[in-house]
Structure formats: C-alpha cells, structure tokens
Amino acid sequence: MRELAAVDSAHDFLHFQRVVNTAKRLCREHQGDLNIVLPAAWLHDLVSLPKDHPDRSKASYFSAQAAIDYLKSVGYPDSFLDPIFHAIESHSFSANMAPLTLEAKIVQDADRLDALGAIGISRCFAVGGMLNRAIYSGDDPFCEHRIPDDSRYTIDHFFSKLFSIAKTLQTDSGKAEGEKRVHAMKEYLRQLESEIF
C-alpha cells in the first residue's frame, strides 16, 4: 500500500489511513461487516486520477476493478468480492452512484468525511496549490454575489462542493461528525474574513 504513487498529497497513504480509521469506527457503531468495509476502505482509491482528468468520474470503477483483481490474487473469499466492488465503486462523489448496502454507505461516509473539517481544509488547499488556483477571489471571496468557480479559486470549492458533501452523508454517526466538521470549516471562513477585510 505504501508503494502506491499518490496523484496528490490529498490522496496519499495518510488519506487511506484516515479513511480506514473512520470506516472502522462507523462499522463498529452501525454493526457493518469489517470483511467488506476494511478492504474497500484500504483500496477505495487504488486508481486515483487528477481532479482535472477527463475520466475522473470513472476512477472509482477503475479502483473497484483493480481492487477485485488484487483480492482474487491473494485468495480473498469470493463471497465478499461483489459487495467490496460496490462499496468502492459507489464511494466517489464524482461517480454519482448511490450506495445500496450498509458497508458501501460506511465507506462512502468515511471517504467524504475526510473532505470536511480541518483535514478537509488542508486537503482542499493542497489540491488548489497543485492546480495553481488562487486562494480566493479579491472581489467576492465568499461567493456572496457570484456563482462559485473552483477552477479559479480554492475557497470557492467550499461552496461548490464541500459543504454539499455533508448533506450526502448516509449513516447517523457520519451525519453527526459531518455537522461538526462543517462547523469548523465555517469558523475558519469567519476567521479568514476577519483577516482579509
């Protein structure tokens, strides 16, 4: 796993660790099957494409295929492979696929929670810097009078995607944690506003 080359620092080995840790906690709280959740969480971004790649929306499908190939090669029980495939394929926001099992909901929540809160802010700026985006618009930093454009401004990504991610969380524990993390992000924006005006 450590040998996987991350496309960016927001999708490095530490991202996998955080997603796995969150997935394990959600699995305990909601009585999910760790035989499905753990491999799906570890392998959910096995194929990671850049945010601006034309096949970005297919990355979770490619990851699911690669994960199943790997699990078959190590003799993982066949009975878990289809649910693992679904959990990986449906985790991605850009894939726009509903998770149909508890385990898929847990993996999706664990990955999406990593886009929120303090770590979400850090990852957002890591990607924004890699794509050479400005931090914010000097005219309207918080999208009060314009449509967010996260292809130009990193802060706009909060408004175009990140805050809406919290509304897609599936499990009760995920929703509660998402609310806390969104609150932290809004506090950050209030502090940022006090520093730039």
Section 11-16 average pLDDT: 90
For 81-97, write each residue's pLDDT tens digit: 999 999 999 998 777 88
- Cα–Cα distance between 2 and 82 in angstroms, integer? 25
Looking at residue 7, its pLDDT comes to 57
3-state secondary structure of 179: helix
Average pLDDT of span 5-12? 67
Alpha carbons 165 and 167: distance in angstroms, whole number:
5
- Across 35-55, average pLDDT: 86
Distance CA 51, CA 141 (A): 22
Three-class HEC string of 48-116:
CCCCCCCCHHHHHHHHHHHHHHHHHHCCCCHHHHHHHHHHHHCCCCCCCCCCCCHHHHHHHHHHHHCCC
Q: In sequence order, which residues have a C-beta less than 8 Å from that of residue 77 and are 6 or more positions away?
A: 35
* Model pLDDT for residues 41-50, shown as the tens digit of each residue: 999 998 877 6
Closest CA to 115 of 136, 132, 94, 131: 94
pLDDT at 21: 98
pLDDT at 9 over 80: no
Domains in the chain: ranges and CATH: 1-109 (1.10.3210.50), 115-197 (1.10.3210.50)
User: Which residue type sits at 96?
Assistant: N
CA dist 84 and 95 (Å) reads 16
Q: What is the pTM of this model?
A: 0.90
Residue with more model confidence, 108 or 96:
108
Q: What b-and-e string marks burial along 43-82, b requiring 16 or more CB atoms within 10 Å of the CB?
A: bbbbbbbebeeeeeebbbbbbbeebbeebeeeebeeebbe
The answer on pLDDT for 3 being more than 70 is no
Q: Give the pLDDT of residue 96.
A: 81
Task: Give the length of the chain.
Answer: 197
Q: Residue 29 pLDDT > 50, yes or no?
A: yes
pLDDT band (50, 70, 90) for residue 30: very high
Q: What is the pLDDT of residues 112-152, one digit of tens each?
A: 999 999 999 999 999 999 989 999 999 999 999 999 999 99
pLDDT reported for residue 2: 39
pLDDT at 55: 73
**108 has a pLDDT exceeding 90:** yes
* CA 174/CA 63 separation, integer angstroms: 23
Distance CA 193, CA 197 (A): 6
The pLDDT mean for the chain works out to 92
